[in-house]
Structure 1
Amino acid sequence: PLNEVNALLQNYDVLVDYCTMEVNENNYPIAKYCLKKITDPQYCIALTVLHDILGELSELCQTFQRSCLTTIEAYCYAKAKIVKFHSQYLGEKVHSEKVKQQMAPFDNTVDTRGVLHFISEHCEHLDCRFPENELQEWSAFNIEALFPVKFDYGYGTKNVIKLVGKYQAVLNLPTDRSITECICEQYIDYKFIIVEKMKVGTIRTFADMVTYTLKEQQFTDLAHFVDICATFQASSADCKCGFSLMKQIKTKSRNRLEVNHMDQLISIKYYLAANKDVNLDKIYHHWTTDKYRREK
């Protein structure tokens, strides 16, 4: 829809001239109807607002396609857009320069109730898609929010307790309180370690934090929840990259590749794409010493 609205706005004057010519020369009924609509100031303002809204949503969609975008980050971007819409259009004044320019010749006498109702409904729809405090419990693993931890010893503990209660049955955790206390103790040590690692630069992103957590033995129980948080994909970019790699590897001439072999080749490709070192000699040695061979 954004492309169509863009095209309409860019050729608006041309469209008005064309419809006027058709009405004057041929008295064309459809041209009369179109001319009446496009010269209506209410229609012009609504079109300008629609262009702004669609442009903002397009930017949000592009943001959602970033690789390694966490769910918490995506949620924050979406909520920020909702607040921006409210502030820009639903406050005491309209803060869109384009809309102000459209309304200026008419001394603000144009009825904009329909447009404001559309924006209000749009914001309500987004609020339903991104409910308030939907990810409140997972903020315990928000890497950006962990910096104030040095000022608050108890930060995130309540959220971790809620997560334990929510996923206790899924993870087959013991029903007594000992496991909750154990995970909370792990979390207290964990958050301070993460902050210090962020200070020295050994952890920079959420992915780095997940990798460290899953490898560290002292956070075995807590790692279950970090792993769950990491599986919430806000973007489909990584999935698309995975399918693209698979198509590059499994061609028509290599269509007999099995799942394990394919998985290993994709892992190597991912490592190379991330500028990581892959010891091909070790890989070849492992392949030659592996006893399993596919039947011919």
Structure 2
Amino acid sequence: MSAEPKRKRTANSFKKDWLDEAVITATPTAHDDQRVYLRDVFVYDENEGIITCLYCHDAMVSGEFSNGKKWYNNVWKLDFLKRHLKSKTHLYGVQKLRNKNPLLPAHGILKMLSETPEERNRKRACKEEIVILIDNILLAVKMNSSLLSVQDINDHMAKYVRIPESWRSKNYAFEFLESIDVVISQEIMEEIASADFHTLTVDESTDISVSKCLILYFKYRVSFEYKTRFGGIIQLKSCDAPSIVTAIEEFYKKYRLELDKMVMFTSDGAAVMLGRRNGVAAKLKERIPHLVQQHCVAHREDLGIADTWKEVKLLQDIETLMRTIYSMFSRSTINRCKFQNIAAACENEAIAFKPLNEVRWLSRHFALQAIIKNYDSLIAYFEEMKSNDPISKYCFKKLKSNGVRIALEVLNAVFEQLAALCKIFQRQGLTPIDAQNFAHAKINKLRQKYLGDTTFWGERVDNLLARISEEEIATFDSEGLLDFIKLLCDHLIERFPEGEHEQFRELAKLVDIGGTFLASSVECERGFSLMNSIKTKLRNRLGERHLDMIMRIKSYQRDGCVIDKMKVYEEWVSNKDRREKVGQ
């Protein structure tokens, strides 16, 4: 009778006695393999049901064991732990810890002692040469150039300074980029982790390759200074609230940040973000009871304008005219050239027309300004073209009406005030209380100017009214414009109600928390603009990981921060065993 085959050590749950088994494996404390117990390498969390490799976690390497691995099929094996000890990821993490261990003697010390003075001098010079290579990476990032062009920069620099030829390749360029990113991200995340409170600002969008991503910014206080920093980009598998919340929690876990320190969640008004029951903010509040949610003030203002615009017939007629003019010149090069020639003949400058874009702040103001600056040239153009083109005839009839011209001037003056408020809302680090005060000051100014006992139209409108007859004045729909301004003020008051943040004025204990609040998600919008300027059509193969690094570096530089190149050099050296190549 044959012997029964030996069964593998499997179980439906993790066995704590597995951690008492001794193994021979690589450790950060010695160059040779050492005999250690598994409990010295792994730690098991009973509440979460996950097991974490301490070496991988401390080295911050990628992999499931770094943040905690969990088996969902309820089949646990001791071999899983032993296989991990031989994996490339684990060995790479051990090597990183060895390189950073100041008590561990350098490997190959006898070879170093046998070096000639010339060899030692050459190695000491390598540090400065590598710093030059790192500086070239920063130059490429600042110029928004592809990392593939770094080779050309290095070759050009090599004509004037000594640079090792073997380290000029694109592979080393990506290594240097990663080292720069590690130094910056560690500094930022350590500051956020050490801060008592912070605000998280998020927004979702797509890049040029239509990859859905979530961008994160943090505002926090260090000593007596409030800072707003780029956190990172997260690739989203799905755009629903649970997926976004999971992505945020994983980000916090990866960088060892405490969710409980989040005091405000700021985003645009999308339902997936700020929905009362199933939005991201609502789900985070279940985990963080003290969390305050903030609807971006710039989005709030734009929504108020958009809602008012739809309710007034006069505004709808003006919108039709503005869109018609823009379409006529944006879609036809011939029309655009003819208009430029007529403007030159009239000795006027032809200003480019702007579109009415519902997802762009200030678009209405820019579109109105372009039409008003081109007004005389437009009348001359449509007068010449009206006999052969019904659209030109419609535009000429509208623009020739003094009532329309006066309405455009009034709207331009109103939107000039709203544009100024929008620019204030886009200030970096704006707090909700400041945004509330600015909004109410602007609303009161509009009411006093247009809705008081006497209406002050402005100098340009008064001059136009003085030049036209009483019959033409009758075509000026002043009631429609005043209705628009009244509705606009009412909509803005609804979105910026009195006393919304009054509790923070009365509670001195919350002053520090209130200082970390962000009134808008403008930082995320700037982040997407930065992302689109980096990942263009010519660079659409730029991956999420490298895009995240480049954005973090550029954001860090834009904030006026100085990158410590020697720290970058030390990080780069510690990633791999380069002691035989680089002088210590």
Corresponding residue for 2:376?
13
Over residues 9-47 of structure 1, what are the superposed CA-to-partner deviations in whole Å (9 max), with x where a residue is unaligned?
122122223333345xx3754444333322222211111
Rounded to whole Å, the distance in 2 between the matches of 1:64 and 1:101 is: 33
Rounded to whole Å, the distance in 2 between the matches of 1:136 and 1:271 is: 36
Q: CA deviation at 1:99?
A: 1.8
Q: CA deviation at 1:237?
A: 2.6
- In the superposition, relative to structure 1, how do residues 243 and 113 fare at CA in structure 2: closer, same or farther (>3 Å)? closer
Q: CA deviation at 1:278?
A: 6.5
Aligned 1:263-278 pairs, distance under 5 A: 270=556, 273-275=559-561
Corresponding residue for 1:102?
464
Rounded to whole Å, the distance in 1 between the matches of 2:380 and 2:404 is: 17
Q: Is the 8 A contact 1:90 1:116 kept in 2?
A: yes
Over residues 150-208 of structure 1, what are the superposed CA-to-partner deviations in whole Å (9 max), with x where a residue is unaligned?
xxxxxxxxx32xxxxxxxxxxxxxxxxxxxxxxx7xx4xxxxxxxxxxxxxxxxxxxxx
Corresponding residue for 1:234?
520
Over residues 227-269 of structure 1, what are the superposed CA-to-partner deviations in whole Å (9 max), with x where a residue is unaligned?
3652334352377459959x99xx9999779x9xx8xx969x8
Partner letter of residue 57 of structure 1?
L
Greater alpha carbon shift after TM alignment, 53-62 vs 230-239: 230-239
Q: Is the 8 A contact 1:5 1:47 kept in 2?
A: yes
Corresponding residue for 2:444?
83
Aligned-partner SS, 1:56: helix
Residue 74, structure 1, aligned to residue 74, structure 2 = no
Rounded to whole Å, the distance in 1 between the matches of 2:378 and 2:405 is: 13
Over residues 110-149 of structure 1, what are the superposed CA-to-partner deviations in whole Å (9 max), with x where a residue is unaligned?
441111111111111111111112121122xxxxxxxxxx
Aligned 1:208-223 pairs, distance under 5 A: none
In structure 2, the gaps of 5 or more residues are 1-363, 575-584
Partner letter of residue 133 of structure 1?
G
Q: Is the 8 A contact 2:368 2:412 kept in 1?
A: yes
Aligned 1:135-214 pairs, distance under 5 A: 135-139=501-505, 159-160=506-507, 187=509
Q: Is the 8 A contact 2:443 2:489 kept in 1?
A: yes
Larger Rg: 2
Q: Is the 8 A contact 1:67 1:235 kept in 2?
A: no
Over residues 69-122 of structure 1, what are the superposed CA-to-partner deviations in whole Å (9 max), with x where a residue is unaligned?
222112222212111211222223333112212222245654411111111111
Aligned-partner SS, 2:441: helix
Corresponding residue for 2:404?
43
Question: What's the TM-score once normalised by structure 1's chain length?
Answer: 0.52
- In the superposition, relative to structure 1, how do residues 275 and 126 fare at CA in structure 2: closer, same or farther (>3 Å)? same
Q: CA deviation at 1:271?
A: 9.3
- In the superposition, relative to structure 1, how do residues 133 and 255 fare at CA in structure 2: closer, same or farther (>3 Å)? closer
Corresponding residue for 1:62?
423
Aligned-partner SS, 2:453: coil
- In the superposition, relative to structure 1, how do residues 104 and 238 fare at CA in structure 2: closer, same or farther (>3 Å)? same
Residue 118, structure 1, aligned to residue 484, structure 2 = yes
- In the superposition, relative to structure 1, how do residues 238 and 84 fare at CA in structure 2: closer, same or farther (>3 Å)? same
In structure 1, the gaps of 5 or more residues are 140-158, 161-183, 188-221, 289-296
Residue number among 413, 437, 462 corresponding to 1:52 in the alignment: 413
- In the superposition, relative to structure 1, how do residues 232 and 38 fare at CA in structure 2: closer, same or farther (>3 Å)? same
Q: Is the 8 A contact 1:70 1:233 kept in 2?
A: yes
Greater alpha carbon shift after TM alignment, 117-126 vs 93-102: 93-102
Rounded to whole Å, the distance in 2 between the matches of 1:74 and 1:238 is: 17
Q: Is the 8 A contact 2:432 2:517 kept in 1?
A: no
Rounded to whole Å, the distance in 2 between the matches of 1:19 and 1:243 is: 37
Q: CA deviation at 1:48?
A: 0.8
Rounded to whole Å, the distance in 1 between the matches of 2:408 and 2:521 is: 30
Rounded to whole Å, the distance in 2 between the matches of 1:53 and 1:127 is: 16
- In the superposition, relative to structure 1, how do residues 13 and 241 fare at CA in structure 2: closer, same or farther (>3 Å)? closer
- In the superposition, relative to structure 1, how do residues 91 and 45 fare at CA in structure 2: closer, same or farther (>3 Å)? same
Q: Is the 8 A contact 2:431 2:514 kept in 1?
A: no
Larger helix proportion of the pair: 1
Aligned-partner SS, 2:497: coil
- In the superposition, relative to structure 1, how do residues 233 and 276 fare at CA in structure 2: closer, same or farther (>3 Å)? farther
Question: What's the TM-score once normalised by structure 2's chain length?
Answer: 0.29
Corresponding residue for 1:202?
none
Q: Is the 8 A contact 1:22 1:31 kept in 2?
A: yes
Q: Is the 8 A contact 1:2 1:51 kept in 2?
A: yes
- In the superposition, relative to structure 1, how do residues 69 and 32 fare at CA in structure 2: closer, same or farther (>3 Å)? same
Q: Matched residues, percent identical?
A: 30
Q: Is the 8 A contact 1:38 1:44 kept in 2?
A: yes
Partner letter of residue 232 of structure 1?
L
Q: CA deviation at 1:279?
A: 10
Corresponding residue for 1:173?
none
Rounded to whole Å, the distance in 2 between the matches of 1:275 and 1:41 is: 54
Residue number among 494, 502, 506 corresponding to 1:128 in the alignment: 494
Corresponding residue for 2:308?
none
- In the superposition, relative to structure 1, how do residues 94 and 266 fare at CA in structure 2: closer, same or farther (>3 Å)? same
Corresponding residue for 1:142?
none
Q: Is the 8 A contact 1:69 1:235 kept in 2?
A: no
Rounded to whole Å, the distance in 1 between the matches of 2:383 and 2:482 is: 30
Q: Is the 8 A contact 2:379 2:396 kept in 1?
A: yes
Larger strand proportion of the pair: 2
Rounded to whole Å, the distance in 2 between the matches of 1:255 and 1:40 is: 54
Q: Is the 8 A contact 1:70 1:232 kept in 2?
A: yes
